[in-house]
Structure 1
Amino acid sequence: MTLPWVLAVLSLLPLLDAQSPTCTNYTVPITNASLDQISGKWFYIASAYHYPEYKELASKFKASFFYMTPNHSEDTIWFREYSTIGDSCIYETGHLTIFRKNGTLLKYENGTRHFGHLMLPKDRRTFMLAAFPEDPLKMGLSFYADKPEVTPEQMEQFYEDLKCRGIKKSEVLYTDEKKDLCKPLERQHEEERKKEDKRAKTDTALD
C-alpha cells in the first residue's frame, strides 16, 4: 500500500510560493542536515489532496506513524510504517530514494514511481510533503509531526501552506491517534530488536 506521505511528481514551484513569505519552500535541495532532521519517529497528522487516487487513499487512514533511517552515502531512507486502516494494523517496510538537487523522495510500488517534495517549516518538529504542486487539479499536501498531537501554531502553518496552494481548509482529512491499533505490534517489534541486539553483543563477546 502506498505510504500516505510518498506522493507527487517532480515539478516546478508555483509562482504563488515566491510571492508569499508564509509559504514553506519546497525547492530547497536535500542535505545531510535535512535528512538528520527527518530521521526518527513521525506521526501522520493530516492531508488534503485534489488527486482522486491519493484523496481516496488518505480517507482510509485512521492513524499512522512511521520510522525513517536515512543513509547519507547511498541517498536512501529505510522506513517502517504502522498504519491503522479500517479495523486492521498494516505494517510496511522499504526504501525511499533521495533526489537531493530536486528536494524529492521517491518510492517504487507495483511498477509506479511516487515522488514527494520535502518541505521543512521553521518548526523542526514537523515536516510536510507536496503532491503535484504544478497541477491545481491534482496538487496536495500532507503534514507530519514528532508527536501525535500538534500545537495550534504547528497546525496553522499547515493551513497557511494549503492556502498558498489553493487548497481549502475544508478539504483536510485528519487522523486520530485514539483509533491507532498498531502499538501492540510496535512493542512486539521493539522487543524482538532488543533480543537481537543482546544476542549480537553476546556473540561478539564470545568471539
Structure 2
Amino acid sequence: MALPWALVALSLLPLLTAQDPTCPYQKAVPITDATLERLSGKWFFIAAVLRNPEYQQMTRLVEAAFIYLIPNLKKDTLLFREYQTIGKQCTYDVSSGGIQRQDGTLSQIVQDREHFAHLWLTKDPETFITLLFPEDEHNRGLAFYARKQVVTREQLNEFQEALKCVGLQDDEILYTDGKKDLCGPLEKQHEEERKTGNLES
C-alpha cells in the first residue's frame, strides 16, 4: 500500500477559481532544482484530510509512516521508498514517479497507474503539503509532511490555515502516531545493506 498522497488519484485540471483569491493553491508554482533539493530525503507523514471515502478508510489504517523522496534532477523522475506501520506490522515499498515542473506536481506510479499531487511548499522548509483533488469539493484533501515526527505548533498552524484556504475543516484531520512506528529496525537494516552494496534502492 502506498502512502496516502500517492493513494489519492489526483487531477491536473485547473484549481477552482471560486475560492479565496489569496489562497496559494489558486496558482501552480513551478518546481525548480532548488525545490527538489529541498524535498530530497526523509519525510514523516503527519496528518491528512481526505474526503474521498475509499482513501480516507485506507489512511485510517496507517498508524505511522515515513517516506524517502529521491529526485533525479536531470531526468525529472522520483524514487519513493515508503515505510508504513499498519496493523502492528511494518510494510515497505519502492516505487517511481515523475516531476511535472511547470504544473507544480509530482507523480507516483502505483499498481500501473500514475497519480498526481499538487505540491505546495510551506513557509517552514521543514514541512510541505500536497493538495488532493483540487477541483472536486467532495473528494478534495491535503496531506502534511515534516522532517520530524513531532511538529511544532507553528508548523501545525500552517497546515490548519491551508485547510481553511481550500474549504476543509480541522475536525476532519487524520493524524498518525510516531510512537506506534515499527519500521525503525527495517530502515536501519536497509541502511546497512546500502552501505555494503546489498540493496540497490
TM over 0.5: yes
Question: Structure 1 CA distance, aligned partners of 2:124 and 2:13?
Answer: 25
Question: Structure 1 CA distance, aligned partners of 2:18 and 2:125?
Answer: 24
Deviation at 1:106, TM superposition (A): 1.4
Q: Which has the larger radius of gyration?
A: 1
Check 1:157–1:25 CA distance in 2 against 1; reply closer, same or farther (3 A cut): farther
Deviation at 1:188, TM superposition (A): 0.6
The residue that corresponds to 1:42 in the other structure is 43
> What is the number of equivalent residue pairs in this alignment?
196
The residue that corresponds to 1:27 in the other structure is 28
Contact 2:52/2:139 (<8 A) preserved: yes
Q: How large is the RMSD of aligned CA atoms in angstroms?
A: 1.6
The residue that corresponds to 1:14 in the other structure is 16
Contact 1:49/1:139 (<8 A) preserved: yes
The residue that corresponds to 2:138 in the other structure is 137
Contact 2:47/2:174 (<8 A) preserved: yes
The residue that corresponds to 1:169 in the other structure is 170
Question: Structure 2 CA distance, aligned partners of 1:25 and 1:137?
Answer: 18
Deviation at 1:2, TM superposition (A): 2.7
% same residue: 47
Question: Structure 1 CA distance, aligned partners of 2:13 and 2:62?
Answer: 27
The one-letter code matched in structure 1 to 2:171 is: S
Unaligned runs of 5+ in 1: 198-207
> How far does the alpha carbon of each residue in 1:120-159 deviate from its partner, in whole angstroms, 9 at most, with x for none?
0111100011100111011000000000000001000100
Contact 1:24/1:120 (<8 A) preserved: no
User: What TM-score results when the alignment is normalised by the length of structure 1?
Assistant: 0.89
1:47-196 matches, cutoff 5 A: 47-196=48-197
SS at match of 1:136: coil
> How far does the alpha carbon of each residue in 1:163-206 deviate from its partner, in whole angstroms, 9 at most, with x for none?
11111100000000000000010111111112229xxxxxxxxx
